[in-house]
Amino acid sequence: MTSSFKRRVLVPHYARGTPVETAHNPLACVRYGGDEAGVEVAQGCVFMTLPGPSPVLYETWHPMQIGEQQAEGAASIIPRMVGKESGIGWSCEGDVLFAAFWVQDQPELCDAVQTHYERLITLSRQKGFPHIYRMWNYLGAINQDNEYGEERYRDFCRGRAQAFDALGVELTALPAATGIGLPAGGVAVYLIAHRVMQGVNVENPSQLPAYHYPPRYGRRSPSFARATVMEGESQTVLYLSGTASIRGHESVGHTLDEQLAITIETIHSLRAAAEKRFPCLQAGRFESMKLYVRHPKDVSVVQAAIERAFPCPAGQAPLLVADICRAELLVEVEGILL
């Protein structure tokens, strides 16, 4: 007797202002805005709260079927499991895992970030989900200097890079990611990982790989791929990293309009690179996007431009006012295409 099981990946769904977080049984719920930041596990779900003003944005994570596979041992019947171990909240079901940590603010971020990153990756491996395919990093006062005069984003990048080094992760195996500011201190990180499917990384011909940025942007380069593709038999999913107005390794454009135009062009170029390897993505649409804007006055212009360039289902392109990881950048955009 043969049986098959659903091959799935995790995708987000966004809701604003209403506490619908546990409807549809998500694996995780990230709340953008709340008084008390942290990670907790309840009702079979990881709840992560990031500091910030209300109204709150809720991002829930749901398994989506992308194919079917012959059952390999018990993978077909692995039920929902959740837990919190050494500060890492995690939940898994079948072949998908969500895991997250929150670290209190520190005078220097590097050590705490390295320690927690290593725990996060090690936990993913130990639970049986070694294929990390997308990560998000949010840090307070991202453009301010730490006690030693190093910008906190760069301080963070050192800890992250050291953790990947220590665990033997090759540069070309780094997942797609986002790195963005928070209105208050501390560091929030979460990831999604798969039991058996390795993501395929895609770099952008118009940009230097971030992990090769020269030292003028920090002692250790940012550890992420421009995009990761998860290929299923019935659906292929493109996870775009946070994308900003950068060509080569340099920030370009002084005005919002210039930066927006270059960001959109950069996303088109990244998408074209992904389509070369995965032609089925040509028929794809953005299922969701997440927009980050430094200044509140720029919100409506960014929303309108992105909506025109990359139409998304209603409500699935939320915008957060946040600092971007380089002080001169005004806008950053991430997205999921399928």
Say whether residue 114 binds ligand 3EB (CB under 6 A): no
| Span from 52-60, 91-99, 171-179, 281-289 in contact with ligand 3EB (CB under 6 A) | 171-179
| Minimum separation from the CB atom of position 147 to ligand 3EB (A) | 21
Strand partners, 40: 47
Cβ–Cβ < 8 Å for 334, 243: yes
Distance, in Å, from the CA atom of 206 to the CA atom of 246, rounded to the nearest integer, reads 8
Q: Are 66 and 236 in contact (CB under 8 A)?
A: yes
Taking the complex as a whole, the smallest distance from the CB of residue 224 to ligand 3EB amounts, in Å, to 5
The answer to the question of residue 179 lying near ligand 3EB (CB under 6 A) is: yes
Please list every residue from 191 through 230 that binds ligand 3EB, using CB under 6 A.
Answer: 210, 222, 224
- Complex with ligand 3EB: residue 17 or 248, whichever CB lies closer: 248
Q: Classify the C-alpha dihedral 108-251-299-320 as positive or negative.
A: negative
Q: Is 246 in the site for ligand 3EB (CB under 6 A)?
A: yes
The catalytic residue among 21, 151, 332, 334 is 332
Question: Quick check: is 287 catalytic?
Answer: no
Q: Does 241 bind ligand 3EB (CB under 6 A)?
A: yes
Residue 242 interacting with ligand 3EB (CB under 6 A): yes
Distance CA 244, CA 153 (A): 16
Query: Near ligand 3EB by CB under 6 A, which window of 140-148, 172-180, 253-261, 297-305?
Result: 172-180
Does 89 bind ligand 3EB (CB under 6 A)? Our answer is no
For ligand 3EB, the closer of residues 182 and 244 by Cβ is 244
Please tell me the distance from the alpha carbon of residue 208 to that of residue 247, in angstroms, as a whole number.
Answer: 8
β-strand pairing of 286-293 with 319-321: parallel
The whole-angstrom separation of Cα 147 and Cα 202 is 36
CA distances from 214 to 210, 218, 220, 221 (A): 9, 8, 9, 7
Contact string 303-332 vs ligand 3EB (x = CB under 6 A) = ----------------------x-------
Cα(119)–Cα(113) distance, integer angstroms: 10
Number of residues that bind ligand 3EB (CB under 6 A): 12
Q: Give the residue from 249, 266, 269, 265 showing the smallest Cα distance to 326.
A: 249
Residues annotated catalytic, as ranges: 332
Residues interacting with ligand 3EB, by CB under 6 A? 137, 177-179, 210, 222, 224, 241-242, 244, 246, 325
